[in-house]
Amino acid sequence: MARLDALDGRLVAALQKQGRASNVELSQQVHLSAPQCFRRVKALEERGVIRGYAAQVDREALGLGVMAYVSVDIGAEQFGRVREFERTIAGFEQILECHAVSGDFDYLLKVVARDLKSLSQFLTDRLMQIPGVANVRSMICLEEIKPPSPVPVDGG
């Protein structure tokens, strides 16, 4: 687990809010010299605290009007195929996230689609056809109440 001192914590928090900030802007926000700020950010990247930088895209603006959470059960007799399942779904661009979970099912997926028919086709024709998949259940998201948020840097 990466331990952050107060300056690293401020750097991570600032970058989560504005990932395109220049080194000079960032150094001013956290009250460090630009060279020291640059070194600290590079060290955070090398330690794996900062995994990368990406644009936050509005899925609906791209015509992806449906988002769903999909639970997947792997059949007990097929559990030897878990890694094959994971490799297969990694190639599906409709799946934004996949988490192995405890409880009533094995995986929870975050899936996007143009519309309900597209989602149904994806679930039926692609996801449910993966060897080892025993059961699929979907929950359609009606409204986003809290958008993805920065990770708390104080240990939350």
- Comparing 77 with 65, the larger pLDDT belongs to 65
Domain boundaries, given as residue ranges, for the chain: 6-46, 59-140
Report the C-alpha gap between 66 and 63 in whole angstroms.
9
Domain 59-140: assigned CATH number: 3.30.70.920
Task: Describe the strand order of the beta sheet including 66-74 as a list of residue ranges.
Answer: 95-100, 107-113, 66-74, 133-140
pLDDT at 30 over 80: yes
- pLDDT tens-digit map of 115-131: 999 999 999 999 999 99
Mean pLDDT of 86-114: 97
Q: Taking the CA atoms of the chain, what radius of gyration do you get in angstroms?
A: 20
Give CA–CA dist 70/31, Å, rounded: 44
Which token pair is 106? 């094995």
User: CATH says 6-46 is which class?
Assistant: mainly alpha
Tokens 């028919």 -> residue: 117
pLDDT at 78 (0 to 100): 81
In 3D space, the residue among 9, 7, 22 whose CA is nearest the CA of residue 152 turns out to be: 9
The CA distance from 88 to 9, in Å, is: 36
| Confidence tier at 155 by pLDDT (50, 70, 90) | low
Chain mean pLDDT for the chain: 93
pLDDT of residue 71: 98
Nearest to 34 by CA among 60, 3, 11: 11
pLDDT at 156 over 60: no
Per-residue confidence band for 57, with pLDDT thresholds at 50, 70 and 90: very high
